[in-house]
Amino acid sequence: MTINAAIFACNGPELLASEAVFFRDCNPWGFILFGRNIETPEQVRKLCADLRNTVGRDALIFVDQEGGRVQRLGPPHWRKSPWAYDFGELYRLNKRDALRAIWLNFRMIADDLRSVGITANCAPVLDLPVFGADPIISDRAFSRDPDKMIKMAHACMAGLTAGGIVPVIKHIPGHGRAAVDSHKALPVITESLAELESTDFVPFKALSDAPVAMTAHVVLECVDKAQPITVSKTGFQKIVRQNIGYDGLVMSDDLDMKALHANVMGDGLTTLARKTLAAGCDIVLQCSGQLPDMVKVAKGLKPLAGDALRRAQLADLMAESFEPFNHATALEEYTKLMAQLEPAT
């Protein structure tokens, strides 16, 4: 059966019959979970199995499990992970220990995710925050320095992939200097292409071997003064595919975000889905879990084919194997490394 170029969410902790029918008929490539979908390990495990049963295959299931303030699985059932910024502080004290702590942290996250059936994590954040920008990125980033960011992001990806979790770098080509949160409004970045090439784009170029990337809903005036990268064919092709040279699978950020709706005419989500795929994104992401919204998106979808299908298949393969792991031993080592950040008494 044809697989459609979408990742969808469901509305609650249990799959509704109406959602199951829709997913069966639409056959999206993958699914994503949010806090509203998560209660206990047993419940999440059943939900993941039910979602996969609707499409009859081992579809990737995504989540945002960065740590800090972006962590969908949390206490009391899951360990609270630190902000990326905390690892940056440890890196300032001891580079080797910081990289080891990052690897251990994300290897433990991978273990937690796989144990309930989740196989892809929307991390690491590669956006380089700048002073004066909207705080939507801020402490979610390892560093403001590209070279430090690259080293720590590599450790994050290595920990996830060792645990059979597909990492998703975000938000390509960079959201760190945006003056507004794209959840709420459309950010416009006015810096020159030369400036962006020497800063924002650097981490994405360095990690261009990542299997999946998520777009930033931002306007780059240097390539398209009107359309955000996600729906700008000129901007997407010139910056993401050519300048950054990223040939992995690109998924949009959430189509529900107001940054996209600010300048898209026509039939709302249907038009957005069409424009996103026409611009060059391989997959559209729609997160509301509202069935009427998903139906609108489905009307604008197209089947995975060509390069998009090739990229999707490579991403699927990355979740098929993982290395043996002792969670308790890792936690003990990780705790000792992170203790360096505790104030002296």
Supply the CATH number for residue 306's domain: 3.20.20.300
Candidates 50, 97, 145, 183; catalytic one: 183
Dump pLDDT digits (tens) for 275-324: 999 999 999 999 999 999 999 999 999 999 999 999 999 999 999 989 89
CA atoms within 13 A on the CB side of 230: 35
Q: Are strands 70-71 and 65-67 parallel, antiparallel or unpaired?
A: antiparallel
Alpha-carbon span 342 to 345, nearest angstrom: 9
What average pLDDT does the structure give for the chain?
95
Q: How far is CA 22 from CA 92, 158, 234, 294, in A?
A: 49, 35, 33, 9
Q: How far is CA 231 from CA 218, 264, 279, in A?
A: 10, 9, 5
Say if residue 24's pLDDT is above 90: yes
Share of the chain above pLDDT 70, in %: 98
Torsion over CA: 149, 151, 337, 92 (sign): negative
Question: How confident is the model at residue 174, as a pLDDT?
Answer: 96
Say if residue 342's pLDDT is above 90: no
Q: Where does 119-186 show beta strands of DSSP type E?
A: 120-121, 166-172
Question: How confident is the model at residue 214, as a pLDDT?
Answer: 98
Alpha-carbon span 275 to 29, nearest angstrom: 18
Alpha-carbon span 2 to 63, nearest angstrom: 24
Question: What φ, ψ does residue 158 adopt, rounded to 5°?
Answer: -65, -40
What distance, in Å, lies between the first and last C-alpha atoms of the chain? 63
CB atoms within 10 A of CB 273: 27
Say if residue 263's pLDDT is above 60: no
Q: Has this prediction a pTM greater than 0.85?
A: yes
Alpha-carbon span 200 to 175, nearest angstrom: 8
Question: How confident is the model at residue 328, as a pLDDT?
Answer: 97
Identify whether 253 is a catalytic site residue: yes
Candidates 134, 139, 253, 316; catalytic one: 253
Q: Number of structural domains, the chain? A: 1
In which domain, by residue range, is 298 found? 4-47+56-341
Number of residues in the chain: 345
Question: How confident is the model at residue 181, as a pLDDT?
Answer: 85
Token pair recorded at residue 271: 């038009």
CB atoms within 10 A of CB 124: 30
CA atoms within 13 A on the CB side of 247: 6
